[in-house]
A and B are shown apart, each in its own frame.
Chain A
Amino acid sequence: MKHDYDSSAYWKETIKLLRNVLILWFLVSFGAGILFVDFFNQFHLGGYPLGFWFAHQGAIYFFVAQIFYYAWRMNNLDIKFDVHED
């Protein structure tokens, strides 16, 4: 069974999406939660120092959102390049 899809363009777009999601993944955890935690701790979110909040709460919320965003974008890519499952 032959399909005429452009697998290298599909892969290129996939990698681009992965890169973008991974940058945000790094920023909310390693960035705000660890490397720049002292800077963010100057600010407060309710009773939370902000850096502490990222490390103990916020990063996790972002992770969940990121996976669903990724899944949604990938499903669209699959359809756009006609590589989705039948």
Chain B
Amino acid sequence: MDLQTTIYIMVGLSFSLYIGIAIWARAGSTSEFYSAGGAVHPVLNGMATGADWMSAASFISMAGLIANMGYGGGLFLMGWTGGYVLLAMLLAPYLRKFGKFTVPQFIGDRFYSKGASLIAVICLLTASLTYIIGQMTGVGVAFSRFLGVSSEVGIYVGMGIVFLYAVFGGMKGITYTQVAQYIVLILAYTIPAIFISLQLTGNFLPQLGLGSTLTGTDVTLLAKLDSVVTDLGFGKYTTTTAGSTLNMFVYTLSLMIGTAGLPHVIMRFFTVPTVKDARSSAGWALVFIAILYTTAPAVAAMAKLNLHSTVNTAVAKGGDLYAPEASIQAETRPDWMKRWEKTGLLKFEDKNGDGRIQYYNDKSKNEAAVAKATAAGWKGNELTVNADIIVLANPEIALLPNWVIGLVAAGGLAAALSTAAGLLMAISAAVSHDLIKNQFVPDISEKNELLAGKIAMAVAIVISGWLGLNPPGFAAGTVALAFGIAASSLFPAIMMGIFSKKMNKEGAMAGMLAGLAVTLFYVFAHKGIFFIKGTDFLPLIGGANSFFGITPEAFGAIGALVNFAVAYAVDKVTPEPPAHIQAMVESVRIPRGSKLVDGSH
């Protein structure tokens, strides 16, 4: 059976599974639509949270970025897992005890103000929409390869499928579908990694393979990779940091607190039966996430090594990487390269006209590498590989069987769809429940509330798809921006709402607005106002990364600091919250008396 048919079969099978489950578990009431009636086991909830969490950014994009960045890519690994510790300890159990559906509801009640709730809705929508733009970029990559079309067409197809998918079920449908999606995506991620780890190191577990020696040699995989990439003028794999130590520090911190402030993740913890379950549910979620996250660095390093040895035969054989016959001839390049060239995400250009592919860093500061390239008659790097294709192309690069390639395509789509659906749920709940019902039309019927939610989803898909055509960065980078926004706006307000009895509405509102404003200002300066191309205003802030060399993706931690500081200052000069609010905070801190979320409020 040929490759394309195999891919169709794998993707088709996985989709029929999800659709079958969605029909089986169709939601009835509003309460079921948003939170599955509060009756999902912690382990299942953890798996669903894992699928919800591991998006196109984690599945498709992250390992590719790590392959590019080397050690510095660890910021994604630590940042996107460490946040669960904060979530489990600082937020989840207390929000569960509080017993409401959504983050804006919590903020509105705790800070006794509809204004605070409105600001929370704005923060939530900004973060979630930015997140979906990143998803759409990833969906575009997956569909373009899967259908053999350009990535633009891939995005249009993806928009249609995400829409059908998200409006079809509710949270309950999604919870069980997501368990299935988790299983598909984790198999799709780990199976090729196991194959490749066996090929390269003879070690079954990629987590151990990454730390092993290459088969038939006594050189470790990482040492080999280090020597190949430095020889070709790239930074040393195991030590190249992300900009600077300070940038790496705040970037990691932004992703961590952003994780704990992302509404679609927090919403998950409303769906467990008890406070006790909320604590362990975060742990289970992280177990299932860690399986992918500890595999990702192995995928990254092994794919990078495989890619180099594909285009340069001296990598595997040893010898001079710059010898003329070491670079492969363009005519005999493997089929997978030709397949990806169709998507426009992999490009080959014979700059020195020798009919061979030279892949190296032509902007290297390593003088030895530059001298060798010049001596060999190389006239610039001839191969551009978009970081977002590494994971999907990985089994093809390693020449694995067709069914593995098909499985990876199905997994990538599962990851993108499940997260997009979870985010759209959060957006739909925020618009229909927190915005329309609580702010403007309190007596809206349940039917109209659901309808408003579905319209909100459709609008969100169109906006994000349109912006996804000109994404502000790679899928994982765009998603990191969303985390920065959540980190700077929602996390501090929720945390102060639980851990400070005296924090008042004025402080919380001023803090959220200040944190959001300063972060968006810095991000928009780099990426354009609302990510519209050509509206960036870098000169105004004195050039790129002008704030101590911190990149816009990493700025959320600074925004969060501003949020805390402003909230504290304003709190000091305004009246303290009423007694019943302080009593409510006391009761939120104690598990006893928790009850299931109900839809009546």
Residues of chain A at the chain B interface (Cβ within 8 Å) = 3, 5, 7, 10-11, 14, 18, 21-22, 25, 29-30, 33-35, 37-38, 41, 45-49, 52-53, 55-57, 59-61, 63-64, 66-68, 70-71, 74-75, 78, 83-86
Contacts and interface: CB of A to CB of B under 8 A. Distances in A.
B283 A45 contact: no
B294 interface: yes
Given A46-B220, A59-B77, A75-B279, 18 more contacts: A21-B85, A22-B85, A29-B82, A29-B252, A41-B239, A48-B210, A48-B211, A59-B82, A60-B290, A61-B290, A64-B286, A67-B283, A67-B286, A71-B280, A74-B93, A84-B592, A85-B275, A85-B594
Given A18-B89, A21-B89, A35-B245, A64 B283 contact: yes
Interface residues of B, number: 53
A60 B287 CA distance: 9
B254 interface: no
B297 interface: yes
A78 B77 CA distance: 33
A53 B283 contact: no
B47 to A, nearest CB: 15
Contacts of A35: 245, 249
B74 A55 contact: yes
Interface stretch (B102-110, B361-369, B426-434, B583-591): B583-591
B301 to A, nearest CB: 9
Contacts of A52: 71, 74, 222, 238-239
A65 B8 CA distance: 40
Given A59-B78, A61-B290, A67 B85 contact: yes
A45 B238 CA distance: 13
B280 A60 contact: no
B283 A71 contact: yes
A61 to B, nearest CB: 7
Interface in B558-601: 586, 589-594
Interface centre among A18, A64, A68 (most CB of B within 10 A): A64
B137 interface: no
B81 A60 contact: yes
Interface of B: 66, 71, 73-75, 77-78, 81-82, 84-85, 88-90, 93, 207-208, 210-213, 220-223, 238-239, 241, 245, 248-249, 252-253, 274-276, 279-280, 282-283, 286-287, 290, 293-294, 297, 586, 589-594
A63 B82 contact: yes
Contacts of B283: 64, 67-68, 71
B84 A78 contact: no
Contact of B77 (A25, A56, A74): A56
A84 B157 CA distance: 50
A38 B241 CA distance: 11
B591 A47 contact: no
20 contacts: A3-B592, A7-B586, A30-B252, A33-B252, A46-B208, A47-B212, A49-B238, A52-B71, A55-B75, A55-B77, A56-B77, A60-B81, A61-B290, A67-B84, A68-B280, A70-B88, A70-B279, A84-B591, A85-B591, A85-B592
A46 B252 CA distance: 26
Contacts of A33: 74, 78, 252
